[in-house]
């Protein structure tokens, strides 16, 4: 099976990594629009235009399924990909993230004071798509959304274990740290799993839902027909290869995969 993974930049690599762990025998195509990253600060119409261009380019790759591993694009332009690539099955990160949060919520004893907290980029949070979708699934109103605009640039700087990242996240979540009942926090940005340790530190005892893992689990449930022999391959496409942050490549080199830029 040929699985496409689209992201505005390198963030979707956290999703790719989880997908490779879950589907270790498949062929992957990673498409990063590094010439136009970040999407999270752009207007909706601009984001939709960029996704349209990417979709036409992905149409030529003979995919069997496409994962939009970018929260901003999933929130704002999933229909653009679906329309252009029809009848290809296209999945965003929103549906898997929502499912994972709802599942976590239903596992825990019900408490009206328990908070569901969505953390993401400005554009994702502004869209409120996660709150809307979670409210469709469960009758629960204690849902908060918080944008963390500096988290992505700090992660790209490689400061995932830095006290500066901790102070920054602390600043973003300070309203929620005094909740008596530990809440459920969804990392609704594909960069954030790289810094999951820092998020857990500023929200101790909270249930942190990793959106990259959620996507892989969600795709596994779709019961695609998988390859029986081990022929894992990854093809890489970047709209600006020079703009790929080296830190993004480490995980794959550790997996024995190389990235030709």
User: DSSP code of 110?
Assistant: P
- Distance in angstroms (rounded) separating the CA atoms of residues 55 and 36: 14
Q: Which of 126, 135, 68, 125 is nearest to 98 (CA)?
A: 135
Binders of its own copies in range 23-82 (CB under 8 A) = 35-37, 41-46
191 binds its own copies (CB under 8 A): no
Q: Which of 144, 132, 140 is nearest to 111 (CA)?
A: 140
For residue 44, the minimal CB distance to its own copies (Å) is 8
167 binds its own copies (CB under 8 A): yes
100, 154, 189, 208: which one binds its own copies (CB under 8 A): 154
243, 247, 255, 259: which one binds its own copies (CB under 8 A): 243
**Residue found under tokens 């839902």:** 209
Which residues have a Cβ under 8 Å from the Cβ of 226 and sit 6 or more positions away? 1, 23, 25, 26
171 binds its own copies (CB under 8 A): yes
For residue 152, the minimal CB distance to its own copies (Å) is 8
Residues tagged active-site: 70, 189
- Distance in angstroms (rounded) separating the CA atoms of residues 13 and 196: 15
182 binds its own copies (CB under 8 A): no
Name the segment binding its own copies (CB under 8 A); options: 102-110, 129-137, 166-174, 248-256. Answer: 166-174
Beta carbon nearer to its own copies, 131 or 162: 162
- Distance in angstroms (rounded) separating the CA atoms of residues 7 and 31: 6
89 binds its own copies (CB under 8 A): no
For residue 153, the minimal CB distance to its own copies (Å) is 4
Beta carbon nearer to its own copies, 14 or 34: 34
Beta carbon nearer to its own copies, 36 or 211: 36
- As to burial, measured by CB atoms within 10 angstroms (0-12 exposed, 13-18 middle, 19+ buried), residue 74 is buried
Alpha carbon 88 to its chain's center? 20
Task: Give the pair of three-digit tokens for residue 76.
Answer: 């704002």
Chain residues binding its own copies by CB under 8 A are: 35-37, 41-46, 149-150, 153-154, 156-157, 159, 162-164, 167-168, 171, 240-243
């Amino acid at each position: 099976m040929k699985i496409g993974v689209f992201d505005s930049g390198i963030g979707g690599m956290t999703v790719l990594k989880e997908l490779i762990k879950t589907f270790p025998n498949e062929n992957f195509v990673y498409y990063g629009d590094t010439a136009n990253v970040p999407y999270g600060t752009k207007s909706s119409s601009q984001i939709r235009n960029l996704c349209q261009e990417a979709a036409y380019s992905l149409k030529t790759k003979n995919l069997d399924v496409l994962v939009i591993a970018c929260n901003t694009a999933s929130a704002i332009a999933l229909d653009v990909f679906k329309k252009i690539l029809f009848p290809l099955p296209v999945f965003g990160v929103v549906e898997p993230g929502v499912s994972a949060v709802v599942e976590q919520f239903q596992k825990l004893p019900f408490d009206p004071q328990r908070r569901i907290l969505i953390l993401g980029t400005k554009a994702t949070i502004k869209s409120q798509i996660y709150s809307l979708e979670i409210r469709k699934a469960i009758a629960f109103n204690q849902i908060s959304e918080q944008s963390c605009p500096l988290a992505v640039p700090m992660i790209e700087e490689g400061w995932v274990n830095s006290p500066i990242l901790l102070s920054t996240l602390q600043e973003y979540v300070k309203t929620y740290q005094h909740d008596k009942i530990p809440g459920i926090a969804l990392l609704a940005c594909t960069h954030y799993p790289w810094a999951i340790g820092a998020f857990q530190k500023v929200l101790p005892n909270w249930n942190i839902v990793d959106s990259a893992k959620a996507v892989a689990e969600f795709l596994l449930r779709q019961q695609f027909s998988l390859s029986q022999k081990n022929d894992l391959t990854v093809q890489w496409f970047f709209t600006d290869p020079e703009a790929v942050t080296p830190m993004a490549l480490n995980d794959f080199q550790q997996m024995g995969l190389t990235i030709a830029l």
